[in-house]
């Protein structure tokens, strides 16, 4: 769909808003389905879709240029692998959308009651433990879904995810539609969950298929989209997501209904997948190692990850404080990826960036380049401050309750203290802690705390007649397919750091 066509409503509403003839609510009606929202500080946030967090070097540079050209504050990496341009002046919003669209960066379905960005394992096609690369399926399905207008006028949002490794089954199970890679008798396909989700009444979804051949993915997605469109609750937004259909019908009833939709669709009409990425070709073309100097062992333990391409090729995780990047940092990462020989970056649900393919012998140069590009950033993860995953919290989010990044900062400082007191611990523990903790500023669960080993949800409650900021702490104690469970008592905001410290100490194998 052309820019003019897909953004017509916004092009009409925003100039009226700037002239004082339309309200914020009028603008929101037009902008929300594009993932464009007014922030608490009256500036705007524009959410760019990056399917599976696969950000090409070309797109990273384009975004950096757009940030510079339009006086935008910074780019924020989200837990669903989008890039949010934050603090966009209202008078620049249309130009930002136009510039992004010209570079092939899309907004449609960035927010509102639509088909949202597809989540993909950040190491898909690269990591040592993936069954196969699921990214081409996510990209192709996105292209197909964009042709179904029904997917953009749903009762509420639909979130779809593709996961490459068996260890990610819980992530698949908490999507509205989650695909977990599986190979049976040499045939590629997916274990499929439906009707899971996070937010109000978070739930693990229903197992729809133990094995769905890969070429049936679009049929499955269309069946779920049709079912949702027909049976989702359009009267009560709070009970509109697919998991509330499951709640209403029961698991067996939902499965039966889904199968009715699935079976009435022709199984042979799909041309899938059309999108390809040959990572192996990039690996073959990687430049030789630049040198063999010693590199900081602590950094290697924390940031360097194995790939499926043997000992000589690794991925490097760049820890991004708060998930926030300046234009210069985004450009520096694009340059570094390219110098390492790869054409893309991956954005992770932990709000970090992955340099996907790096020769092990080039690690000293990568380490130096990161230190030079991020002089104020803790490349070594020596401090956890800014690295615990939180949602944007109530200072930015209009419907938020508590300032979750501030809570994350306080918890991180306490954990820094803990790690300083325990130099005997493996340096990799710092990364494990970062990956174990998630904080949301309200029950909407944008920080995905219910799938964390230690999750926190902000709210306010009356204690002795006084309304106080408190956190509900959630703990997931084993690797079974279940959500983190809330502890009975609230924890006062001020007591949260010590509480998390106790939990980390109790389960340091995390």
Give residues in contact with ligand SF4 (CB under 6 A). 391-394, 397, 399-400, 404, 440-442, 444-447
Query: What proportions of the chain, in percent to the nearest 5, are helix, strand and coil?
Result: 40, 20, 40
The DSSP H or E segment spanning 458 is strand 454-463
Q: Looking at beta carbons only, is 122 or 455 nearer to ligand SF4?
A: 455
Work out the number of other CB atoms within 10 angstroms of the CB of residue 462: 9
Question: Whole-number minimum distance, CB 439 to ligand SF4, in Å?
Answer: 9
CA 211 from chain centre, in angstroms, equals 25
Nearer to ligand SF4, 136 or 321 (CB): 321
Q: What is the CA radius of gyration of the chain?
A: 22
Minimum distance between the CB of residue 83 and ligand SF4, rounded to whole angstroms?
16
CB 440 within 8 A of CB 446: yes
- Quick count: other Cβ atoms within 10 Å of Cβ 275? 16
CB of 390 to ligand SF4, least distance (A): 8
Residue 232 to residue 240: CA distance in whole angstroms: 5
Taking the complex as a whole, how short is the minimal distance between the CB of residue 43 and ligand SF4, in angstroms?
Answer: 16
φ, ψ at 182 (rounded to 5°): -150, 145
Closest CB 440 distance from ligand SF4, rounded Å = 4
At its nearest, how many Å lie between ligand SF4 and the CB of residue 442?
3
Contact 194, 258 (CB under 8 A): yes
How many degrees, rounded to 5, is the angle at CA 130 between CA 186 and CA 141? 80
Q: Cα angle at 267 between 260 and 226, to 5 degrees? A: 45
Residue closer to ligand SF4, measured from CB, 143 or 468? 468
Question: Which of helix, strand or coil describes residue 374?
Answer: coil
Which stretch of DSSP H or E encloses residue 284? helix 279-284
Least separation in angstroms between residue 471's CB and ligand SF4 is 12
Comparison of 297 and 399: residue with beta carbon closer to ligand SF4: 399
Q: In terms of Cα–Cα distance, which of 344, 223, 361, 230 is closest to 287?
A: 361
Alpha carbon of residue 152 to chain centroid: 20
CB of 252 to ligand SF4, least distance (A): 32
How far apart CA 342 and CA 279 sit, in angstroms, is 9
Distance CA 271, CA 461 (A): 53
* Residue (114 or 440) nearer to ligand SF4, CB: 440
Distance CA(475)–CA(488), nearest Å, equals 11
Contacts of 424 (CB under 8 A, 6+ apart): none
Nearer to ligand SF4, 133 or 403 (CB): 403
Smallest distance from ligand SF4 to CB 497, Å:
19
In angstroms, the Cα distances linking 112 to 138, 270, 460 are: 20, 28, 26
Q: Which residues pair with 438 in a beta bridge?
A: 389, 455
Measured from the CB atom, is 6 or 84 closer to ligand SF4?
84
Q: Which is nearer to ligand SF4, 168 or 403 (CB)?
A: 403
Q: Kind of pairing, strands 177-184 and 160-163?
A: parallel
**For helices 24-31 and 8-18, angle between their N-to-C axes, nearest 10 degrees:** 160
Minimum distance of ligand SF4 from residue 445's CB (angstroms):
6
Q: Residue 199 CB, nearest distance to ligand SF4 (Å)?
A: 8
CB nearer to ligand SF4: give 343 or 395.
Answer: 395
Separation of alpha carbons 182 and 441, rounded Å: 35
Which residue's CB atom is positioned nearest to ligand SF4? 400
> Is residue 202 a contact partner of residue 444, using CB atoms and an 8 Å limit?
no
* Comparison of 123 and 404: residue with beta carbon closer to ligand SF4: 404
Give the residue with the Cβ less far from ligand SF4, 122 or 400. Answer: 400
Shortest Cβ 398–ligand SF4 spacing (Å): 8
> Are β-strands 44-48 and 83-88 bridged in parallel, bridged antiparallel, or unpaired?
antiparallel
Which of 221, 484 has the CB closer to ligand SF4?
484
Q: Is the separation of the CB atoms in 298 and 36 below 8 Å?
A: no
CB of 443 vs ligand SF4, minimal distance in Å: 7
**Per-residue tokens: 117:** 């960005």
In the bound state with ligand SF4, the residue whose beta carbon lies nearer, of 214 and 409, is 409
């Amino acid at each position: 769909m052309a820019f003019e066509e897909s953004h017509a409503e916004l092009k009409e509403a925003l100039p009226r808003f700037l002239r004082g003839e339309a309200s914020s609510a009028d603008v929101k009606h037009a902008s929300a389905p594009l993932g464009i929202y007014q922030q608490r500080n009256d500036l705007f946030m524009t959410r760019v879709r990056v399917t599976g967090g696969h950000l090409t070097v070309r797109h990273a540079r384009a975004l950096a240029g757009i940030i510079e050209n339009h006086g935008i504050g910074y780019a924020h990496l989200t837990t669903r692998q989008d890039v949010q341009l934050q603090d966009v002046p209202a008078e620049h919003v249309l130009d930002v959308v136009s510039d992004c669209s010209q570079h092939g960066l899309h907004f449609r379905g960035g927010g509102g009651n639509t088909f949202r960005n597809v989540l993909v394992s950040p190491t898909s096609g690269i990591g040592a433990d993936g069954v196969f690369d699921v990214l081409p399926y996510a990209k192709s399905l996105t292209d197909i879904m964009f042709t179904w207008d029904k997917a953009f006028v749903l009762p509420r949002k639909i979130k779809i995810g593709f996961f490459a490794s068996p260890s990610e089954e819980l992530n698949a199970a908490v999507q509205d539609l989650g695909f977990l890679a599986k190979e049976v008798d040499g045939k590629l396909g997916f274990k499929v969950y439906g009707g899971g989700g996070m937010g109000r009444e978070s739930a693990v979804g229903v197992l729809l298929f133990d094995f769905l051949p890969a070429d049936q993915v679009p049929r499955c997605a269309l069946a779920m989209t049709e079912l949702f469109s027909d049976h989702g609750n359009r009267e009560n937004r709070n009970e509109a997501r697919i998991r509330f259909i499951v709640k209403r019908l029961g698991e067996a009833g939902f499965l039966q209904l889904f199968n009715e939709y699935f079976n009435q669709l022709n199984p042979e009409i799909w041309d899938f997948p059309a999108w390809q990425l040959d990572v192996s070709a990039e690996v073959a073309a990687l430049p030789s190692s630049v040198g063999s100097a010693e590199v900081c062992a602590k950094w290697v333990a924390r940031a360097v990850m194995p790939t499926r391409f043997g000992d000589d090729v690794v991925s490097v995780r760049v820890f991004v404080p708060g998930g926030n990047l300046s234009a210069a940092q985004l450009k520096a990462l694009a340059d570094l990826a390219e110098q390492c020989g790869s054409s893309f970056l991956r954005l992770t649900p932990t709000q970090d960036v992955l340099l996907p393919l790096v020769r092990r012998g080039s690690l000293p140069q990568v380490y130096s380049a990161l230190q030079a590009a991020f002089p104020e950033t803790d490349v070594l993860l020596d401090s956890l401050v800014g690295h615990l995953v939180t949602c944007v919290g109530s200072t930015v989010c209009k419907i938020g309750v508590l300032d979750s990044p501030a809570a994350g900062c306080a918890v991180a400082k306490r954990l820094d203290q803990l790690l300083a007191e325990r130099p005997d611990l493996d340096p990799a523990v710092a990364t494990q802690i970062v990956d174990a903790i998630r904080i949301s500023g309200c029950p909407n669960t944008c920080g995905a705390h219910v799938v964390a080993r230690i999750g926190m949800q902000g709210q306010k409650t009356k204690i002795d007649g006084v309304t106080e900021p408190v956190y509900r702490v959630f703990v997931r104690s084993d690797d079974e397919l279940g959500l983190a469970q809330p502890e009975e008592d609230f924890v006062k905001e001020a007591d949260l750091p010590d509480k998390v410290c106790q939990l980390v100490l109790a389960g340091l194998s995390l």
